[in-house]
Amino acid sequence: MKKYFIVTAIIILGISTLKAQNTDQNMPRLVKKGQSVQLWVDNKPFLILGGELGNSSASSADYMKPIWPKLKKMDVNTVFTPVYWELMEPAEGKFNFRLLDDAILSARKNNIKLALLWFGSWKNSMSCYAPAWVKTNILRFPRAEDKNNVKQEILTPFSKNNLLADKQAFVKLSEHLKTFDGKMHTVIAIQVENEIGMLPNARTYDAGANRAFRQTVPQLLLNYLKNNKDNLLPETKAIWAGNGYQTSGNWEEIFGKSLATEELFMAWYYARYVNEIAQAGKKAYNLPMYLNAALNAPGKKPGEYPSAGPLPQVMDAWKAGAPAIDIFAPDFYNPDFKHWSDLYTRSASSLFIPEIRFEPGVDAKAFFAFGNYNCISFSPFSIESTQKPEAEPIGKTYHILKQVTPLLTRYNHADAIRGFLCNKDSSAQKTTLGNYVLTITHEYKLGWEVGAKNPVWPQTGVLIINTAPNEYYVAGTGVVITFEPVLKGRAGFLSIDEGSFINDQWVPRRRMNGDQDHQGRHVRIPVDEYSIRHVKLYSY
């Protein structure tokens, strides 16, 4: 009898393993959970604690050798690494995947995942990574032109030849990934192009573009506008309503004569181009695909900044025109982190940050982003430039975030997580979470720390997860949190423990009920300390 059960169990196990292989459960994918989207890797929710390489590092496997251990030291779990079209297809139709394969093998050795950056037709507006056989054949691969018809080193998206050449290379890349990595899934996402954006005018004036600008607005976009009339982003609404909600005519007839119309027009055609590439790539190997944007500097007009990339003001065009792109992502080199994060999460439930300036305070922003925006990716740019990986605040932060990832992904669909950034100038921030109203301040606001006298305070940040009516996990650096019951009375701490998650189990270490919580008055994580506190409260 016992033997029978064992045999049956083995058969069932075998069948389910087979099934898992057939449906490829381990394929990296985006999964909708409630209102939010999760990235699943190796069949479980995954948060990218990433780092993007400087542009040229990945062009030499040898140069990369000492970088891998640095990344490991910072607990980076995903490296954003370029794939350069010019090096991958140096002669038309002749492909070389040596650099990519080497990156994949090195990543595997270090137990790190990769997100690939397809430096194809465009890299920061320009076409600097197009192969020489593309760059030198302007007739076959036409360029964008400015108002005076001066050609730019920017491939125009109004050329079938440009699209075809890029698409063929991208499909080869996808096919290669399927063969080389289709079982191990080291590569978990692809960025299709890099910071697309039109310069030096809001649109290109090449012949193809001029023709398209005079033609009627494509039906696909018009249908999107009509079907989503009540839910359009305010910028789209403004430009369409401003001209009386026209539904037929060319771009200026429908949206009026303005730079905003030109940017929308450009965004639409960039989107269609990228969509075709991403769609073809996914057909070969269905990885999550995203596209990043260079955020426009305040006060600049379209054409003065790299225009028409997946920016908030033209996001409706991108969503309608490029459904094969799963996520549109901001690159943060702009100080107003909250402002742009809010804009990107108007029309998306999760924030994906492929690049953020690697500077002091980036650690605090990571806590804030994962706590406040259902963030699925965070990644300082040129992360390998650090000389002291073991002392990097972002490494200490990732060490904490790695531990709370299971909690973050378990609770992020419920209204159970908050994130905060604290500066010298920010006033106390309040939030209702579970049974309590929480007040969050910078640690130096207590006034008794020596550092509080410094003219400049480090930016600090925290995320708070409410796991039971009277229970919280607090992870971050440099904050003080007080609690009051939502209903009535006062809050007291039963316990505040500092500890860690080991194999997903909470292991308390220090009990913090004396000076560390000011004798039961607050939860505090000092500046320069990165840690997790488990907090249990009662009210009286």
Residue in 273, 367, 381, 398 binding ligand DGJ, rule: CB under 6 A: 381
Residue from the set 145, 166, 355, 517 that interacts with ligand DGJ by CB under 6 A: 355
Q: At what angle do helices 337-344 and 362-372 cross, to 10 degrees?
A: 30
Binders of ligand DGJ: how many residues, by CB under 6 A?
8
* Residue for token pair 């890099």: 194
Return the number of the residue (254 or 294) whose C-beta is nearest ligand DGJ. 294
Q: Which residue has the tokens 């998306």?
A: 348
Buried b (16+ CB within 10 A) or exposed e, 42-53: eeebbbbbbbbb
Residue closer to ligand DGJ by CB (options 166, 181) is 166
Is residue 232 a contact partner of residue 316, using CB atoms and an 8 Å limit? Answer: yes
Minimum CB separation of residue 377 from ligand DGJ in Å reads 14
CB of 294 to ligand DGJ, least distance (A): 6
Q: How far is the CB of 347 from ligand DGJ (least distance, A)?
A: 22
Alpha helices for 297-420 (secondary structure H): 315-321, 337-344, 362-372, 393-411
What single string gives the DSSP state of each residue in 405-469? HHHHHHHTTTT-EEEEEE-SSPPPEEEEETTEEEEEEEGGGGS-SGGGGSSSPPPEEEEEEEEET
Site for ligand DGJ in 205-264 (CB under 6 A): none
* Least distance CB 195 / ligand DGJ (angstroms): 4
The amino acid that residue 127 corresponds to is S
> Nearer to ligand DGJ by C-beta: 26 or 124?
124
E strand or H helix at 74, and its extent? none
DSSP 156-168: -TT-HHHHHHHHH
Nearer to ligand DGJ, 285 or 381 (CB): 381
Q: Is 392 near ligand DGJ (CB under 6 A)?
A: no
Please give the residue whose beta carbon sits closest to ligand DGJ in the complex: 195
- Least distance to ligand DGJ, CB of residue 500, Å: 34
Query: Taking CB under 6 A as the rule, does residue 55 contact ligand DGJ?
Result: yes
Name which of residues 278 to 317 contact ligand DGJ (CB under 6 A).
none
Give the shortest CB-129-to-ligand DGJ separation in angstroms: 10
Task: Return the residue of 25, 26, 124, 423 that touches ligand DGJ, per CB under 6 A.
Answer: 124
Q: Which of 17, 143, 51 is nearest to 392 (CA)?
A: 51
The one-letter amino acid code at 12 reads: I
Q: How far is the CB of 55 from ligand DGJ (least distance, A)?
A: 5
User: CB-wise, 82 or 434, nearer to ligand DGJ?
Assistant: 82
Q: Rank residues 281 and 380 by Cβ distance to ligand DGJ and give the closer one.
A: 380
Q: Work out how close the CB of 522 gets to ligand DGJ at its nearest, in angstroms, rounded to a whole number.
A: 39
Cα–Cα dist 191/377, whole Å = 13
The three-state secondary structure class of 392 is coil
How far apart CA 188 and CA 26 sit, in angstroms, is 10
Q: Nearer to ligand DGJ by C-beta: 191 or 236?
A: 191
Return the number of the residue (194 or 377) whose C-beta is nearest ligand DGJ: 194
CA distances from 53 to 147, 161, 195, 377, 381 (A): 35, 30, 15, 15, 6
**Residue 146 near ligand DGJ by CB under 6 A:** no
CB nearer to ligand DGJ: pick between 298 and 489: 298
- Kindly tell me the number of DSSP H helices and DSSP E strands found in the chain: 16, 23
Nearest to 268 by CA among 210, 320, 219, 339: 320
Task: Choose among 27, 352, 22, 355: nearest CA to 177.
Answer: 27
| Minimum distance of ligand DGJ from residue 194's CB (angstroms) | 5
CB of 326 to ligand DGJ, least distance (A): 19
Closer by beta carbon to ligand DGJ, 356 or else 464 = 356
Decide whether 103 or 481 has the Cβ nearer to ligand DGJ. Answer: 103
Nearer to ligand DGJ, 187 or 295 (CB): 295
Closer residue to ligand DGJ (CB): 17 or 56 = 56
Instruction: Tell which residue, 302, 312, 357, has the closest CA to residue 339.
Output: 312
When the beta carbons of 63 and 538 are compared against ligand DGJ, the nearer one is 63
Smallest separation, CB 143 to ligand DGJ (Å): 21
Q: What is the DSSP letter of 35?
A: T
Listed in order, strand segments (DSSP E) in 215-352 are: 289-294, 327-332
Distances (CA, A) of 465 to 408, 415, 455: 7, 9, 32
Instruction: Give the span between the Cα atoms of 164 and 383, in whole angstroms.
Output: 34
Neighbouring CB atoms inside 10 A of 519's CB total 10
CB of 124 to ligand DGJ, least distance (A): 5
Binders of ligand DGJ in range 319-338 (CB under 6 A) = 331, 333
Give dist(CA 176, CA 197) in Å, integer.
29
Provide, rounded to whole angstroms, the least separation between the CB of residue 292 and ligand DGJ: 6
Ranges within 174-203 binding ligand DGJ (CB under 6 A): 194-195
CB of 130 to ligand DGJ, least distance (A): 15
* Chain positions contacting ligand DGJ, by CB under 6 A: 55, 124, 194-195, 331, 333, 355, 381
